[in-house]
Amino acid sequence: MSQAKTLTADEFDQVLKFIALRPLARRNRLMLLFSFWAGMRVGEIASLRVGDVVDSSGKVKAEIKLAAEQTKGQHARTVFLPQKLRDELQDYCDTRAVQDRKQSFFLTAGGKPFSANVMTQHFYWLYKKAGIEGASSHSGRRTFITTLASKGIGVRVLASLAGHRSIAVTQRYIDVNDEMKRNAVELV
């Protein structure tokens, strides 16, 4: 099986523009942004509860503490949210005004919690309908890691952000491209 496609900035914008024109645009945008801007796995995104994302006063947290049962490897981890994601989440949360902190953060059009499998399929169709070939639910996560690597973030920090216990796994996520190589030779 080949690795998920790493999206270019233009492809990422293409998907976001497609989503903006569709029903449930804000929800779909945020699900995608958790992948691209926080490096979360689709199963982790699907498992989020309102109380994972916002504190008791309704303010979006800077860090999400994932319990072991919410992660692929059954190891609790902390997901750090960039300010730009927190800002979008806060606006979304203020609009929804959900009181039940145990409720799933993202619900299907039918009002049910997403399963990891349903969200995986949802991402697949978003990419496909947006015209991005080869993208999957793992593309955001892979793009997140590659983008940070291209900005000089060390592999140990990347492994920690991704929730990997081995840097060898993280290294397989990094997609080397011509721009990274151009920037590297300019350091000589």
116-162, pLDDT tens digit by residue? 999 999 999 999 999 999 999 999 999 999 899 888 888 898 888 88
Coil/strand/helix, residue 43: helix
- Distances 176 to 10, 142, 187 between C-alpha atoms, Å: 17, 11, 16
Q: pTM of the predicted model, to two decimals?
A: 0.90
Where residue 179 falls among pLDDT bands split at 50, 70, 90? confident
CB 45 within 8 A of CB 34: yes
Q: According to the model, what pLDDT value does residue 121 have?
A: 97
Q: According to the model, what pLDDT value does residue 1 have?
A: 53
Residue 11: count other Cβ atoms within 10 Å of its Cβ. Answer: 20
